[in-house]
């Protein structure tokens, strides 16, 4: 049985960091908070670039933050985002970010929360958002 966690707290951590998003080109401010197996929470925001493709999403920054601090397993991620930093809709993670989540989790257990507020969110497993995925185990040779 997997451990439970405080969804409201994870979403609050993402919301707290959202003003740090650097989105001068799209005006779309995204923030993510990752819960690692250790119990620590790591945040990340989208950071755009004048050379547009060099920009990076909030989710990947949060996961890279966790990995850079030595984490190798993640249990959940909360995502908030919207034009002008107003979270009127649930901000879905892009395909590349879903694949990056896949690297460090069990997709059947990993929880992806897309939130408008700590009380108003959707919850899916990564398996639901990225079915039949390719992961590290697929590269192991017998
Ligand atoms: N973005 C994210 O950071 N995460 C998402 O889940 C969707 C999109 C960013 C990328 C870009 O800086 C801006 O939002 C508009 O696409």
**45: its two tokens:** 């925001």
Computed over every residue of the chain, the mean pLDDT equals 97
- Active site residue: 40, 48, 59, 71, which one? 59
How many angstroms does the Cα of residue 80 sit away from the middle of ligand 1?
A: 10
Q: What is the pLDDT of residues 23-75, one digit of tens each?
A: 999 999 999 999 999 999 999 999 999 999 999 999 999 999 999 999 999 99
* Domain-located, residue 79: yes
* Domain-located, residue 115: yes
Domain count, the chain: 1
* Domain-located, residue 2: no
**Known catalytic membership, residue 59:** yes
Q: Domain containing 83: what range?
A: 7-139
pTM of the model: 0.96
Q: Cβ–Cβ contacts within 10 Å for residue 22, how many?
A: 13
Which residue's CA is minimally distant from atom 10 of ligand 1?
57
* Domain-located, residue 27: yes
Backbone angles phi, psi at 66, to 5 degrees: -60, -45
CATH code, 101: 3.40.140.10
């Amino acid at each position: 049985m997997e451990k439970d966690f405080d969804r409201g707290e994870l979403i609050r951590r993402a919301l707290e960091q959202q003003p740090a998003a650097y989105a001068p080109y799209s005006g779309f401010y995204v923030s993510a908070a990752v819960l690692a197996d250790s119990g620590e929470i790591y945040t990340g925001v989208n950071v755009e670039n004048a050379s547009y493709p060099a920009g990076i999403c909030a989710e990947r920054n949060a996961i890279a933050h966790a990995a850079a601090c030595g984490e190798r397993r993640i249990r959940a991620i909360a995502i908030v985002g919207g034009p002008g930093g107003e979270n009127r809709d649930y901000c879905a993670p892009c395909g590349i970010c879903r694949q990056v989540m896949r690297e460090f989790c069990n997709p059947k257990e990993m929880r992806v929360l897309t939130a408008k507020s700590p009380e108003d969110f959707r919850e899916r497993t990564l398996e639901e958002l990225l079915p039949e995925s390719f992961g590290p185990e697929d590269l192991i040779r017998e």
